[in-house]
Amino acid sequence: FLFTTLFRSKQWYQRRVRGMKDREEDGSEEGEEGSEDREDRENMTDRDEEMDEDTKKMMKMMPMRARYECDEGFKLHRTMHGPWGWCRKDGSYEIPQCEAEEDWSEVEFKLHKGNEKKFVDKRGRVFAGVVMARDKPASGSEEDPDWELGCNDGFNNHAAGAICRTLGFRHGAQTPLTKKMQVMAADATQPKFGWTGFNCKFDDTLPSSVNCRAQRYDEAMEHKGMKAKCFDFDKMAVKCFDSAEFNVTVSLTYSNKKITCRAMAYKENYQMDLGKMEGVEAKFMIDDKEIEEAHKYKMKKGYFMKVTNLKKREFNCLSCEVHAGEMMLGKAERCKDEENKPMNDWSWDN
């Protein structure tokens, strides 16, 4: 009885899943079963109004789960828990979506790492790179849809997590785009921008969630014109990981006398001191060759290194990497031919 009361009080009975029968629109043919459903909903509404504040508080603290199925002729877009939906503690909910079989499609993702050799984990998985997506070909189909790029306009960390979960990781975050990431084979088809404005409200979703939104790139261009235009440095890039204990964001700036690798680590919105973490270190590189100079760390600034007449040196790119043992936590890069372009840096609070 407790489960039934909590389940109904969260209003799961509202049938928000596409494909479920809506008897309310067919009052003339609703029959005996439709009348019973309407009466049951009215009773539940009355019961909800009578609930005291303590009961409402208790419900918000107790996430509930339910298994969903679609009507005949419809297919299910699963959640990260398969066919299960659930209520979150804040009162929001996540439920699988149903779609007509003739309209049903599934988006698949992959990460393009380019020449970034370190973006592969011990299991051989690419865990960071430029995001590409396409409609997944049906089993046995000879069609091979083109991969498309995502524009990072409106993109957020929750959406990055949704992408990473389709690739077998538990979590994800945005990451700065590097020049090496974008390198493609000379004979490879150069992908075009296909979608933009991808964002999600929560960090426990898949891309097909009702709590995620995206827009086709050509539609955005039609509606917004040049305001929606994306360039090479706007390509969407993510890093994926399995542990959400903390996440490191990295950006790089430099002057004639100093290079700063602004590495920030956050856990539950509180900044952590990387200098006190055993085994965490930074590497500064100029055109992929490590700079053998001493560097320091300050919590508010990150890692920084003093240099001499940097702007007079001949180089293409500066970069910094933050490592914890053999694992690279983050990387940032600045190249001279991108000096007049906006930096693709981000923070955990975006």
Residue whose tokens read 């828990």: 81
pLDDT of residue 154: 93
Exposed/middle/buried for residue 23 (C-beta within 10 Å: 0-12, 13-18, 19+): middle
Please tell me the predicted confidence (pLDDT) of residue 346: 32
Q: Which residue has the tokens 């596409």?
A: 18
pLDDT at residue 164 tops 80? yes
Inter-CA distances, 209 with 20, 86, 244, 335, Å: 17, 13, 21, 37
pLDDT band at 186 (very low <50, low <70, confident <90, very high): confident
> Which of 34-48, 49-63, 194-208, 319-333 shows the lowest mean pLDDT across its residues?
34-48
Would the pLDDT of 38 be above 70?
A: no
Burial class (CB in 10 A: 0-12, 13-18, 19+), 61: exposed
Work out the average pLDDT over 293-298.
91
The partner residues of 165 in beta bridges, in order of sequence, read none
238 HSE (CA, 13 A, CB side):
32
What string of H, E and C letters represents the secondary structure of 108-169?
EEEEECCCCCCCECCCCCECEEEEEEEECCCCCCCCCCCCEEEECCCCCHHHHHHHHHHCCC
Poorest-confidence range of 6-20, 35-49, 76-90, 328-342?
6-20
What is the enclosing helix (H) or strand (E) of 248? strand 247-254
Confidence class for position 56, pLDDT limits 50, 70, 90: low
Q: Are 107 and 124 in contact (CB under 8 A)?
A: no
Q: What is the mean pLDDT of residues 188-195?
A: 90
The pTM (predicted TM-score) of the whole model is 0.62
Q: What is the pLDDT of residue 165?
A: 94
- CA dist 116 and 236 (Å) reads 16
Spacing of C-alpha 85 from chain mean position: 20
